[in-house]
Amino acid sequence: MEEMMMRRPEEECGIFGVFNHPEASNLTYLGLYALQHRGQESCGIVSSDGNNLHSHKSMGLVADVFGNQEIFKSLPGKAAIGHVRYSTTGSSVIKNVQPIMVDYSRGSIAVAHNGNIVNAQIIKDELEAYGSIFQTTMDTEIIVHLLATSKAISLQDRLTDALSRIQGAYCLLFLTETRMVAVRDPNGFRPLCLGRLGGSYVVASESCALDLIDAEFIREIAPGEMIVVDKNGMSSFFPFKKVDPTPCIFEFVYFARPDSHIFGKNVYQVRKEQGRQLAREHRVDADIVIPIPDSGVPAALGYAEESGIPFELGLIRNHYVGRTFIEPQQAIRHFGVKIKLNPVREVLKDKRVVVIDDSIVRGTTSRKIVKMIRNAGAREVHVRISSPPTSYPCYYGIDTPNRKELISSSHSLDEIRRYITADSLGYLSEEGLMSSVGAENAGFCTACFTGGYPVKFPRLLDQDEPQMGLFEKEIEK
pLDDT of residue 60: 92
pLDDT at 350 over 90: yes
* Per-chain mean pLDDT for the chain: 88
pLDDT category, 130, cuts 50, 70, 90?
Answer: confident
Q: In whole angstroms, what separates CA 38 from the centre of its chain?
A: 5
Q: Residues 439-464: what's their mean pLDDT?
A: 76
Please state the rounded mean pLDDT for residues 429-433: 95
User: Is 193 one of the annotated binding-site residues?
Assistant: no
Contact between 380 and 314 under an 8 Å Cβ cutoff? The reply is no
Taking residue 156's Cβ as centre, other Cβ atoms within 10 Å add up to 16
Check whether 448 is labelled as a binding-site residue: yes
Pairwise pLDDT comparison (139 vs 448), residue with the higher score: 448
| pLDDT band, very low/low/confident/very high, at 96 (cuts 50, 70, 90) | confident
Span 380-395, average pLDDT: 95
pLDDT of residue 8: 47
249 pLDDT band (50/70/90 cuts)? very high
CATH topology assigned to domain 270-444+455-476: Rossmann fold (3.40.50)
Q: How far is residue 208's CA from residue 244's CA, in Å, rounded to a whole number?
A: 27
Facing residues of 85 across strands?
13, 42
Least confident of 41-50, 251-260, 316-325, 424-433: 316-325
> pLDDT digit string (tens) for 268-290?
999 999 999 999 999 999 999 99
357 is in an annotated binding site: yes
d(CA 452, CA 429): 16
Averaged over 56-76, what is the pLDDT? 95
How far the first Cα of the chain sits from its last, in Å, is 25
The CATH code of the domain at 13-245 is 3.60.20.10
| Predicted pLDDT at 81 | 98
SS3 169: strand
Phi, psi of 439 (to 5 degrees): -60, -25
Asked whether the predicted pLDDT for residue 423 surpasses 80, the reply is: yes
Is 394 within any annotated ligand binding site? yes
Q: What is the DSSP string of 119-168?
A: THHHHHHHHHHTT---SSS-THHHHHHHHHH---SSHHHHHHHHHTT--E
Specify the pLDDT at position 475: 45
> Which of the residues are catalytic?
13
- What burial class does residue 203 get, using C-beta atoms within 10 Å of its C-beta: 0-12 exposed, 13-18 middle, 19+ buried? buried
Domain boundaries along the sequence of the chain: 13-245, 270-444+455-476
pLDDT tens sequence across 4-35: 333 444 547 999 999 999 999 999 999 999 99
